[in-house]
Structure 1
Amino acid sequence: MKKMILTLLLAWLLVANMNSQGVLAVTIDFQWLGNQGYTAKGSFSYDAKTAPTIFSEKGSGKMRVLENFQVSFYDNSGQEIAKYDNVSEGISSANYFQFNFNTKIGQVFGSIDLGGEGMGEIYLQGVVNDNLALLRVESVDLVMDEDDSPEIITQF
C-alpha cells in the first residue's frame, strides 16, 4: 500500500512539474477592413508563459515568440482570394514578414507585412493606425485596397 501511494505521489509530482514547465498556448484572431471592402482575417499563436509584453518578428527563419501565423484575404464580395501560413511551428517562410504585438493590451502595432511575396500574390503592408494597403505583387505592386487610419482588431 505504501509503495502504491508513493508511486501515485511521484506520478502526480511528475505531472504537476510538466504542467508548471509546459506551454500555455494563446491563439488570437485578427481582422482588418479596407475602404473598398477587402478584408484580411487570420490568427496567430504564441506561448504566454515565455512571451514578453511586447514582441516583434521579422523575416524568415526561426521566430523568437510566434509559433503559428496564418492570414487570408477576401475581396469585397467576401470571396477568399488568398491564404498564407507565414509562420508554422515557429518557422517563418516569408522573407518580408513583419509583425509587432503587445501581449498586455492585445494590440497589433507598428509596421506590418503579412501574406505573400511572389509574383501575383497578395499581402497587407504598412503601419497600423497610419496607413495599411492590400497589394498584389506585380512589376509595380498594385494597390487593391487601403485604409488611412487602419486598426487591426484582435480577439482572444
Structure 2
Amino acid sequence: MNNLWNKIAATVSASAVLGMALALETVNPAQAIEFKFSWKGDAGYSALGTFNYDETTAPSKIEESGPGKTENLQSLSVSFFDPFNTLLGTYNTVTGGVSESPFFKFNFDTSTQSLFGNFDVAGGKFIDGENFLQGTIGSKLELKQTANQATTAITVDQNSGAITVSRVPEPASVLGLLAFGALGATLKRNKKLVSCQKAEA
C-alpha cells in the first residue's frame, strides 16, 4: 500500500511541476527573445555577447546603426578575452533601447537567426584602450583597440568574418524541460518498483 501511495505522490509532484511550467508560459507569453553570439580570432582572442528584442514587433530584418534610440534592439552587450581567457573588458553597446556608440552597426535576420552585413559593437567613447569588434560578417571581422588619445585603432586580432549566434532558452521552457525530466524519472522509478514487487511475489 505504501508503494502505491509513493507512486501516486511522485506522479502528482511531476504533474504539478509540468502544470506550473505550462501556466508560466501561458500567463507570461514570450516577448523579449534573447540571443548570444561568439567570435574567435585567428590569434586566439575572443568575444562573447548577448542581445535581445521584442519578437512580437520585430521585422524580418533588424538593421541598427549609430547612437540614440534603437528601432528594435532592447539591449546588446559584449565581453572580450585574450588568448588566456583573461577578460579585457565588457561593453553595453545598447541599454534600454538606446545605443551609446556613434559607430554602432548591427544587422540581424530574424527568420534565419543570423547576423549579416556591417558589424561594429563595443567601445565608442573615444577613450584609449577601448576594444571594439568591427567589420563585415562573412568577409572580415577585426578586434581593435583605440590608442594615441583615441585617434588611431590598432588591430589586435581578426578572422574571416565568422561569428556564431544561438538562441538563449526561455526560463519557462527550461522549467518545462525539468518537469519532463522529473516525470521521466518518476516513470522509471515506478517501473523499477513494479519489477521489485513482482520479484518479491
Does TM-score exceed 0.5, indicating one fold? yes
Q: Distance in 2 between matches of 1:23 and 1:59?
A: 28
After superposition, the CA RMSD in angstroms is 1.5
Which of these residues, 100, 117, 121, is aligned with residue 114 of structure 1? Answer: 121
Alpha-carbon offset, residue 36 of structure 1: 0.4
Look up the match of 1:141: 153
Q: Distance in 2 between matches of 1:152 and 1:109?
A: 10
Look up the match of 1:4: none
Q: Considering only CA atoms, is the larger Rg found in Structure 1 or Structure 2?
A: 2
- SS at 1:78 equivalent: coil
2:63 is the counterpart of 1:53 = no
CA contact (8 A) 2:135 2:161 kept: no
Which residues of 2 match residues 92-111 of structure 1 at below 5 A? 92-111=99-118
Q: Which has the higher strand share?
A: 1
* Letter of the structure 2 residue corresponding to residue 153 of structure 1: T
Alpha-carbon offset, residue 150 of structure 1: 2.0
Q: Distance in 2 between matches of 1:99 and 1:150?
A: 14
Which of these residues, 128, 131, 136, is aligned with residue 140 of structure 2? Answer: 131
User: How many pairs align?
Assistant: 136
Q: Distance in 2 between matches of 1:146 and 1:88?
A: 26
- SS at 2:152 equivalent: coil
Unmatched 5+ residue regions in structure 1?
Answer: 1-18
Unmatched 5+ residue regions in structure 2?
Answer: 1-26, 168-201
Q: Distance in 2 between matches of 1:82 and 1:141?
A: 16
Spell out, residue by residue over 1:99-129, the C-alpha distance to the aligned partner (whole angstroms, 9 max, x if none).
0000101101101111112222000000011
2:48 is the counterpart of 1:36 = no
Spell out, residue by residue over 1:78-102, the C-alpha distance to the aligned partner (whole angstroms, 9 max, x if none).
0110110011110111111110000
- SS at 2:39 equivalent: strand
* Letter of the structure 1 residue corresponding to residue 59 of structure 2: P
CA contact (8 A) 1:31 1:42 kept: yes
Q: Distance in 2 between matches of 1:75 and 1:108?
A: 23
Q: Which runs of 4+ in 1 moved over 3 A?
A: none
Spell out, residue by residue over 1:61-88, the C-alpha distance to the aligned partner (whole angstroms, 9 max, x if none).
1100000000000001001101100111
